[in-house]
Amino acid sequence: MIVLSAKANPATQTECFRLGADEFFEKPFDPAVLAASIRRQLERSAASSAESRRDRVTGLPNRGALREHFQAALGMAYEREQPLTLALTELDDLQGIRQRHGRSGVGRIDEETALFIKRNTRGADVVGRWGSGRFLLLFPATRVGPAKQVVERILSDLRTRRISLSVLDRPGGGATRSASVPERTDVRMTLSASLVDARPHRTLEEAVLEAETALLRAEGGRSRMIVPPSKDERSERRTVRVLLVDDDPSIAALVGHRLERDGLNVEHLEDGADALALIQKEDRITEFDLAVLDVKLPGFNGFELLAALRERASRRRLPVVMLTSMGREADIVRAFELGADDYVLKPFSPVELLARIRRLIRIA
């Protein structure tokens, strides 16, 4: 902020600077000097903005900057009808490395990994740090197959690299080492990765969630490469069916749209009586893999439906998520006592609800 004023007394200037002014010009002023000051302030502002979007450890784009890059790339992908692939990489044995070498050790590995990945990607690709031991790669105009080849090469080359790190002292671990000569050891820099088609997702968090879920489901090991099945491939598998009972059309549309985008089949009922009739039909209720129940329903409420479900031997293990605005402790306790598997309060995040449903039905 630059202040222009005819009041040039010290009290006025002091008050302006106290309130946050960066420069103070007394009228009349030299236009050339004012222009130079404005240029300097704009350069400082631009530098500050760039610094706020950069990860302090690696210098790569941070989460905020990655979100901007993703939205720009996604918009361009739809405008030009081009593919967009996202890769999430994670440092193998992150917890073990942090315990043995501390946060500084993880930071050193992240620095080396950032440089290596940046050197081995194209200029149009975006590489950023998503968190400790985690990186995101955006591949504009690139399908999953070609992007996978790039990431596989990075993972393969990284396996041959070592980095020397200090070993943390362990209490009770024997003789104390000299603080001036800490013990060091070579650590393998291995990453695992998951690649997803980013176009079906509206936000970066949604795409990352799909990649994270795929890594969590994968078997353990080092340098894993995970590519979740595409929507077409998922449709060839047995379709997971979800019973949704909610009398709010907007909530039902939101949940149904999000679940069906992820390949789940949703049957929606608005009335508790209709839902109870379905539950009592053995051939119908056994068709479902999970139920999402509202509590406040016409006919029969969600607690009554949950109790009816748990009374039937064939459906005692059907996962049930209660989705409701009733957040009293007594209501939550009652739901779990009746056999609910999860309890989600409205308003809710569709992405979080999907993650909870995925966890319960464990889609392969």
Q: Is 314's pLDDT higher than 70?
A: no
Q: Residue 170's pLDDT is what? A: 44
Instruction: Report the C-alpha gap between 158 and 50 in whole angstroms.
Output: 29
For 175-242, give the DSSP string.
Answer: SPPPTTS--EEEEE--EEEEEEE-TT-SSHHHHHHHHHHHHHHSPP-SS-EE-PPPHHHHHHSPPPEE
Q: Which CATH number, 3.40.30.10, 3.40.50.1580, 3.40.50.2300, 3.30.1330.10, labels domain 236-361?
A: 3.40.50.2300
Q: What percent of the chain has pLDDT over 70?
A: 88
Mean pLDDT in residue range 69-77: 92
Task: Give CA–CA dist 234/213, Å, rounded.
Answer: 15
Report the distance separating Cα 274 and Cα 157, nearest Å. Answer: 59
Residue % of the chain over a pLDDT of 90: 40
Q: Average per-residue pLDDT in the chain?
A: 84
Element (H, E) at 357: helix 350-361
* Confidence at 182, pLDDT banded by 50, 70, 90: low
Q: Is the pLDDT of residue 275 over 80?
A: yes
Same fold, 63-168+180-228 and 236-361: no
Token couple for 106? 């993880």
pLDDT at 171: 40
CB 291 within 8 A of CB 319: yes
Over 50: is that where the pLDDT of 176 sits? no
Give the residue-averaged pLDDT of 18-35.
84
Domain positions in the chain? 2-52, 63-168+180-228, 236-361
Residue 204 has pLDDT above 70, yes or no: yes
Sign of CA dihedral 112, 124, 153, 191: positive
In whole angstroms, give the CA distance from residue 291 to residue 297.
15
Residue with tokens 């608005």: 270
Confidence of residue 51 (pLDDT cuts 50, 70, 90): low
pLDDT digits (tens, 9 = 90+) for 205-264: 989 988 888 887 665 667 788 886 655 444 444 578 999 999 999 999 999 998 988 788
Tell me the helix, strand and coil percentages in the chain, rounded to 5: 45, 20, 35
**Cα–Cα distance between 176 and 64 in angstroms, integer?**
43
Q: Tell me the β-bridge partners of 1.
A: none
- Per the CB < 8 A criterion, the answer to whether 268 and 244 are in contact is yes
> Which single residue is written with the structure tokens 């090991």?
221
Q: What is the pLDDT of residues 289-307, one digit of tens each?
A: 899 999 999 989 999 999 9
Rounded Cα–Cα distance for residues 59 and 135 (Å): 12
- The span from the CA of 178 to the CA of 247, in Å, is 69
Identify the band that residue 173 occupies on the pLDDT scale cut at 50, 70 and 90: very low
Phi, psi of 166, deg, nearest 5? -70, 145
Q: Which residue has the higher pLDDT, 44 or 190?
A: 190
CATH code reported for the domain at 63-168+180-228: 3.30.70.270
Output the pLDDT for position 31.
Answer: 87
Q: Which residues neighbour 84 within 8 Å (Cβ) at sequence distance 6 or greater?
A: 73, 74, 77, 138, 139, 140, 141, 142, 197, 198, 199
Q: Taking the mean position of all CA atoms in its chain, how far away is CA 86?
A: 12
Per-residue model confidence (pLDDT) at position 316: 64
Which phi-psi region, left, alpha or beta, contains residue 62 (left: φ > 0; alpha: ψ -120 to 50)? beta
pLDDT tens by residue, 106-128: 888 889 889 999 999 988 999 99
Q: How many Å is the Cα radius of gyration of the chain?
A: 28
* 3-state DSSP of 79-146: HHCCCEEEEEEEECCHHHHHHHHHHHHHHHHHHHHHHHHHHCCCCCCEEEEEECCEEEEEEECCCHHH
User: 258 is written with which tokens?
Assistant: 């999000």
